[in-house]
Amino acid sequence: AAGVIQSPRHLIKEKRETATLKCYPIPRHDTVYWYQQGPGQDPQFLISFYEKMQSDKGSIPDRFSAQQFSDYHSELNMSSLELGDSALYFCASNREGGSSYEQYFGPGTRLTVT
Amino acid sequence: QKEVEQDPGPLSVPEGAIVSLNCTYSNSAFQYFMWYRQYSRKGPELLMYTYSSGNKEDGRFTAQVDKSSKYISLFIRDSQPSDSATYLCAMSRLTQGGSEKLVFGKGTKLTVNP
């Protein structure tokens, strides 16, 4: 079965650079969630989109922005990167009306800021 | 105080042991209670979810919820080396915007030794 795809899987950037993370949800899933998981930490909800509109916002820094496109894929744009942004970034997808337990997670993008 | 508390371990057991993983929570608004398994460098994978107090069994796994004590557990019977992973509890509640938000515990790292 198709799963959530994230790219790139690994990314190394320097401080103050920008990064773009991509997420391709499971086919026919129209809701996308972004999470940040620091080393040894629990995943923290950043932002979510439903039908290309932002549906909820969590602890996402102002330096980050995200959007969902017409094909339902989503991109997380991160600017002025800081060392503390080094983390695993997960995307999860869900179908309309699906409950939270029906979120399927991608493999994550590991971002390292040096 | 964090909404969800989980002992990060690590927990090391011999093969065949019964494993007990636990989380406590403080927000009585949580509706769904989930357990995720996360292998190293992979995304969280849903193991089980429950909605009400009581037990739910699936093979070697049993999820238990006690809403009166705000306490959830995951039991693994006849543990196998392949069960070695980090186990995250997660709970969902509605946000002000009406969407469901997942709140995770820190995860417990489990090692099952052959």
Domains of chain A by range and CATH? Answer: 5-113 (2.60.40.10)
In 10 A of CB B98, how many CB atoms? 8
The candidate with the shortest Cα–Cα distance to A42, out of B1, B93, B7, is B7
The chain A residue lying nearest B4, using CA atoms, is A42
How close A17 comes to chain B (CA, Å)?
24
Mean pLDDT of B58-86: 96
pLDDT attached to residue A95: 82
pLDDT attached to residue B23: 96
Q: Search chain B and give the residue with CA nearest A98.
A: B100
The predicted structure's pLDDT at residue A1: 64
Asked if the model's pLDDT at residue A8 lies above 80, the reply is yes
Residues of A in contact with B106 (CB under 8 A): 40-42
Reading the block at residue B1, the tokens are 């105080």
More confident residue, B51 or A18: A18
Sheet-wide strand order for A74-78: A5-7, A19-24, A74-78, A64-68
How many CB pairs lie under 8 A apart between chains A and B?
A: 62
- For the cut 90, the answer to whether the pLDDT of residue B47 exceeds it is yes
The pLDDT value recorded for residue B95 is 74
CATH of domain B4-113: 2.60.40.10
Minimum CA–CA partner of B100 in chain A: A100
Closest by CA position to A45, among listed A22, A24, A66, A28: A66
Q: What are phi and psi of B40, to 5 degrees?
A: -55, 130
According to the model, what pLDDT value does residue B113 have?
Answer: 96
Give the rounded percent of residues in chain A with a pLDDT score beyond 90: 68
- How large is the average pLDDT for residues B20-44? 91
CB contacts, 8 Å: B4 with chain A: 42
Q: Which residues contact A97 (CB under 8 A, 6 or more apart)?
A: none
Closest residue by Cα to residue A4 from A72, A105, A108, A110:
A105
